[in-house]
Structures are given as structure tokens and as C-alpha cells.
A = this chain, B = another copy of it.
Amino acid sequence: MTRPVHRVAPATDTPVRQESLRAHNLSLTFRQIVGAAAPISRIELAVATGLTRPTISRIVDDLLAGGLIIEAGPARSGNSGRPRVGLTLAATGPAGLGLDIRVDTLSACVVDLTGAVRHLAFAPRPKTAAEALASLAEMGRAAMAAAAAEHLTVVGTTLAVPGPVEDGSIVRFAPVLGWRDVDAGAALRPALGPVTVDNDASLAALGELYASAPALRDFVCVSGEFDIGAGLVLGGALLRGARGWGGSLGHVAVDSDGPPCACGATGCLQHYAGLQQILPGAAPMPYSPAVAIDDLASAGNPEVLAALDRAGSALGVALSALINIIDVDTVLLGGSYSLLASWLIESVERELSRRVLTSGWAPVSVRPAPLGPDAAVMGAALSAIDQVRQDPNSWLARA
């Protein structure tokens, strides 16, 4: 099985010719512009990249001609002399389209090169997979039209789904949707062109990564409405399992002798920290349960407060297992948990400090995820546009 590749480095097992040389240096220069906090001048690019002024000039010309960057007016550097010309990412040109399917909401999102959200739409999820995919296709087309109206061209589309994905296209199973073996990529292709399908927890983590860059490099993003997933970012790169089927935090055993789970195992985290367990009777309807739980907890409801404490402890146990195996320094509580973070952080941190072997030397920070419940759809859009950000040559070759 192949899986979508989110690579930063150019392939290392490919011969390089002279033109790859130019492509590499162009990509390097462009990434400097992407990573710069403010408009950056040619001189600064030359210093930052180690290339010479003439080379930078040529590269900048190509980037300007391709519409990837714009000259953003004089940007003063220091004291005297000709002012530097600031270069910034263009707000027109390539864009990424993200789609997301949650328990009862579909969403679509367009982001431009700068990472700004240019379009965001929601719709209720129809019952069947076919209807939901048709609806997503319609939302995607509308988003593309809205993008075109702002001189944006969608260069890549990613769909987030709550379940493991095979070959970047086939949803093997998504219990909360009632899906099994749905080839979502093939279904959307006629309307939207090639669509990469990926796990929502992974994409949410990518969303938090891109949105926070370059502050966060190593973290795990807990993500979940009813299924609890974990997206793992290490060294600024999303970590996928061998077959892309990782991230099932909800089925990590918290107590191997615990109660049975629908998955066939016993004592799964899902049973302690799932929204249904915190608020029994909560039907699958996203965020309303989280909001309801938040309200009850704020009102001091003792049962809900106790359930939240249990949930946080169980999350802490599962996260301790994760961090003992792959140490990260930050835990982001995302999805519905971002709304409940204030009720969970204390008990999560308590278990982490007890159970993480190196917590004495290297404390783990637990925080709500900045992007919250919409991280997945934004991460989907960002991961689509990120291909251009990492390799602008593909866009230049196209134009």
C-alpha cells in the first residue's frame, strides 16, 4: 500500500542534473520567503540562503514572473541608502482546497499561499456515503468557483475522514460515519480532479503545525469527536505508521482488564474518555455534546465533573504510553477536547507527571489546540497548498 507523502526534502534517490540545481535553489529561496515573518529583501535572501546576489536576482525574477511572490513596497532596513524592496508571498495564484467530513457536518476550506483562509463553508452531513460525497463534491466546486473569483487556482484537494485510509483514497472503515470500504478519492475525482484522502487526526495535527510554525516542532495532537485519534508531529514532519493506519489513540488500553469495547478489546481509552462516556446519552452530534458538557461542568454538576476527571486521567494514561515510547514535549487537546481543555488539563498533567519516565527532566506541556475543531479541514487545505510551498517548481512548470 502506498500512502500520501508529505515530504520536505527533495527525493534523495534521484540523480541531479544542472536543472535540478536551479530547482533546488529556487525552492530553497522560496521557502525562505515562506518562513520569513515580514517581507524580505533580495539582499537578506542572499545572506539567508548563502547564494550570491546575481543568483538570487534570477530566482526572484522567476518567482515574480510566476506570480508566486510580489514586491511589497519599500521596506526600510537601517539608516541610509536605497531602501530594500520587500518580497512577500502573493495572495493570488495557487490555493489549497480542504474538505472534511465529521459526524454531522461537512466543511470546505480554501487557503492561499500565505496560509490565510479565503473561504470556509459548512453543511449538514447527509445520511448515506453517496449523498455525503455528492454534497462534498458540490461544496468543493463552489469553493473552487469562489477561489477563482479571487484569482486563486486550486492546485490540490485533500479530504479529511475520521478513519484509516488506504492508498490515499479508500476509507477502510469509519465507525462514526457507518462507512466501510468507501473509495472517497475515486468518488470525488470526476467533479474535483485528483483528491488525496487522509485521516482527520493526522490532518488536524498538520493544521496545528502549519498554523503555529515555526514554534511547534514536536507534539501530539489529540483529536476527536467520538473517535479519539492522535496526530503525531516529530521534527516538523507528520509521522505516519508503516501503512498509514496509526493514530488510533482511542483503542489504547488504559486498563487491560477493563470493560469490553466495540472493537473487541477491553479497557480501551474510548470507554473512559469518549464524549458518550462523559455525558451518557449524548447522541453523536458534534460539539453540541461538548458544549453541553462544558455548560454542565460550569454549573458544577458533580457527575459530569467526576466523568471529566476520569476522562482526563484515562487520556493521561494513554498519552503517557505514547510519550514513553515517542517522547514529545507538547500535547495539544484538539477536536471536541479543545472546548473541554480547561476541565481536562489538570488530570491529564497529573497522570503524565506520574507516568512519563522522563517527566522530571523534560516536562510535557498540555494545552488546548489553537485551531480547535476546525483544525482538520484547515490542515487538509494547508497540506494541499503546502506542496507548492515546499516545491514551487511544480507551479512554475504549470504556468
Contacts and interface: CB of A to CB of B under 8 A. Distances in A.
A256 to B, nearest CB: 5
A280 interface: no
A50 interface: yes
Contacts of A249: 324-325
A36 interface: no
A63 to B, nearest CB: 16
Given A21-B21, A239-B234, A325 B327 contact: no
A248 B10 CA distance: 33
B242 A239 contact: no
Contacts of A242: 217-218, 234-235, 327-329
A122 interface: no
B14 A12 contact: no
A179 interface: no
A253 B254 contact: yes
A16 B230 CA distance: 37
A247 interface: yes
A65 interface: no
Nearest to A1: B362
A321 interface: yes
Interface stretch (A23-31, A66-74, A374-382): A23-31
A172 B361 contact: yes
A217 B242 CA distance: 8
Interface in A2-30: 8-10, 12-18, 20-21, 24-25, 28
Contacts of A357: 164, 245, 248, 251, 263
Given A232-B325, A248-B325, A358-B164, A317 B51 contact: no
12 contacts: A9-B9, A15-B28, A218-B241, A242-B328, A243-B358, A246-B327, A253-B321, A255-B255, A256-B314, A256-B317, A265-B320, A325-B326
User: Top 7 closest A-B pairs, CB basis?
Assistant: A241-B327, A218-B242, A9-B12, A265-B355, A248-B324, A252-B321, A15-B50
Interface of A: 8-10, 12-18, 20-21, 24-25, 28, 31, 49-51, 164, 172, 217-218, 230, 232, 234-235, 239-249, 251-257, 263-265, 313-314, 317-318, 320-329, 354-355, 357-358, 361-362
